[in-house]
């Protein structure tokens, strides 16, 4: 089977609707046809200097939300990045293949460092896309399901894979393909509908957390920014607020944008198993079953993560040894 890899950072108590619709729904859908590995990338989270106890707690919660959303540990490996030391090892090797200018062109670093200023930023944030490339190349990944915001980082991973093949010989790395579903590639902030929904957004009211109380979700949707006229029409340019709500509604309820606009019944085509499903009334909101799901799976979590890390590490070791050999590192006897 071809391989799929993707990951999320444990940087909040709950994933948000952008993480869910942009990535997680696709992880669940792909696990049937692919050999899937899904990671909680705690090493990446260190770039924002989290409080240690909170990071540990969020690492487990993030993994639990993968399972609650329908990632099935019988079919997919779920693991914590720091439990597989090969990620950090390959990141170092790849950093020696990455041009300084190339890394400097990453827009996410530019945006994030502009927010905190040079004194607030760190080298880890700068080399973040190199660690991400290591995450992906380590598993000879064919497909990476992510949101639109990760497209440029994916492009760097592809460039690095090609460079390894050119400099170290064919078969050094698999060149990964992005899997970005157009309709849900970018879920927008409810208060600023031209910006992506993001946990670090300045105004928390524009965000829907998937573990939020349905009542609060309904309230957030009701107070979403729309526009002055009453026409319901999909047009990102002139009606970003209305268009964003239509996209969310359509993605959650399985309606086409046009059906959603006309209030027609949906086909219940998505999301797959474990997803929010149909909603009461006219407002889409995540199903409370997801909350129960998180509690139910918490007990199984340690075993799942242990097994996931062991199996992931076995694959990762093979890739790393191949590359260490090709760059000329002396093998320990």
Residues that bind ligand AQP in the complex, under the rule CB under 6 A: 8-9, 11, 16, 18-19, 22-23, 146-147, 149-150, 185-187, 196-200
Give the angle 246-248-253 at the CA atoms, nearest 5°: 95
Q: Shortest gap between Cβ of 144 and ligand AQP (angstroms)? A: 8
- Of 40 and 309, nearer to ligand AQP (C-beta) is 40
| Closer of 201 and 232 to ligand AQP (Cβ) | 201
Chain residue at closest Cβ approach to ligand AQP: 22
Place of tokens 């219940």: 268
Please indicate if the annotation marks 247 as binding a ligand: no
Residue 9 counted as an annotated binding residue: yes
Q: Please tell me whether 196 is known to bind a ligand.
A: yes
**Three-point CA angle 250, 5, 10, nearest 5°:** 75
DSSP 250-313: HHHHT--HHHHHHT-------S-TTS--S-STT-----THHHHHHHHHHTTHHHHHHHHHHHHH
Least distance to ligand AQP from the beta carbon of 227, Å?
21
Burial of 109 (0-12, 13-18, 19+ CB in 10 A): buried
147 annotated ligand-binding residue: yes
Q: Which is nearer to ligand AQP, 112 or 255 (CB)?
A: 112
Kindly state the smallest distance separating residue 246's Cβ from ligand AQP, in Å. Answer: 15
Residue 137 CA to residue 143 CA, distance in Å, equals 11
Residue 78: strand pairing partners? 38
Q: 200 a known binding residue?
A: yes
- Is 39 in contact with 5 (CB distance < 8 Å)? yes
State the virtual CA torsion across 103, 105, 109, 114 in degrees, nearest 10.
140
Among residues 199, 205, 219, 311, the one annotated as catalytic is 199
Report how far Cα 121 is from the mean position of its chain's Cα atoms. 22
196 is catalytic: yes
- We find the least distance from the C-beta atom of residue 168 to ligand AQP, in angstroms, to be 29
* Distance, C-alpha 79 to centroid of its chain: 14
Annotation-wise, does 197 bind a ligand?
yes
Radius of gyration of the chain (CA): 20
Q: Is 186 among the annotated ligand-binding positions? A: no
Nearer to ligand AQP among residue 19 and residue 191 (C-beta): 19
- Active site annotation includes 199: yes
Q: How far is the CB of 11 from ligand AQP (least distance, A)?
A: 6
H or E element that contains 179: strand 177-179
Nearer to ligand AQP, 25 or 304 (CB): 25
Of 6, 22, 11, 24, whose CA–CA distance to 65 is shortest?
Answer: 24
Token couple for 280: 């009461």
| 322, β-bridge pairs | none
Is 187 labelled as part of a ligand binding site? Answer: yes
Closest distance to ligand AQP from the beta carbon of 48 (Å): 7
Judged by CB, which is closer to ligand AQP: 9, or 65?
9
Annotated binding site: 9-11, 18-19, 135, 147-149, 187, 196-200
User: Which amino acids are annotated catalytic?
Assistant: 112, 196, 199
Annotated binding site for L-tryptophan: 135
Annotated binding site for ATP: 9-11, 18-19, 147-149, 187, 196-200
């Amino acid at each position: 089977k071809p391989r799929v890899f993707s990951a999320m950072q444990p940087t909040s108590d709950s994933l948000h609707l952008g993480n869910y619709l942009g990535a997680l729904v696709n992880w669940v859908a792909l696990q049937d046809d692919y050999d899937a590995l899904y990671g909680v990338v705690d090493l990446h989270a260190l770039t924002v200097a989290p409080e240690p106890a909170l990071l540990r707690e969020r690492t487990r919660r993030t993994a639990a939300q993968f399972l609650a959303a329908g990632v099935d540990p019988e079919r997919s490996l779920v693991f914590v990045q720091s439990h597989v030391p090969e990620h950090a090892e390959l990141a170092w090797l790849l950093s020696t293949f990455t041009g300084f200018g190339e890394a400097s062109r990453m827009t996410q670093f530019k945006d994030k460092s502009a927010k905190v200023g040079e004194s607030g930023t760190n080298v880890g944030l700068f080399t973040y896309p190199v660690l991400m490339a290591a995450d992906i190349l380590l598993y000879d990944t064919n497909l990476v399901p992510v949101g639109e915001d990760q497209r440029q980082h994916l492009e760097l991973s592809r460039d690095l894979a090609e460079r390894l093949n050119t400099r170290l010989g064919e078969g050094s790395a698999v060149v990964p393909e992005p899997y970005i579903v157009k309709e849900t590639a970018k879920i927008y902030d409810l208060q600023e509908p031209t910006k992506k929904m993001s946990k670090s957004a300045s105004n928390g009211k524009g965000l829907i957390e998937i573990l939020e109380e349905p009542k609060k979700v309904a309230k957030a949707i009701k107070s979403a920014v729309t526009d002055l006229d009453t026409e319901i029409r999909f047009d990102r340019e002139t009606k970003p607020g209305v268009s964003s709500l239509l996209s969310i509604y359509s993605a959650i309820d399985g309606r086409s944008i046009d059906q959603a606009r006309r209030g027609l019944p949906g086909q219940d085509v998505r999301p797959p198993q474990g997803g929010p499903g149909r909603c009461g009334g006219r407002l889409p909101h995540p199903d409370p079953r997801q909350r129960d799901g998180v509690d139910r799976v918490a007990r199984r979590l340690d075993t799942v993560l242990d097994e996931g890390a062991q199996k992931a590490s076995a694959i990762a070791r093979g890739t790393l040894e191949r590359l260490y050999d090709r760059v000329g590192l002396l093998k320990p006897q």
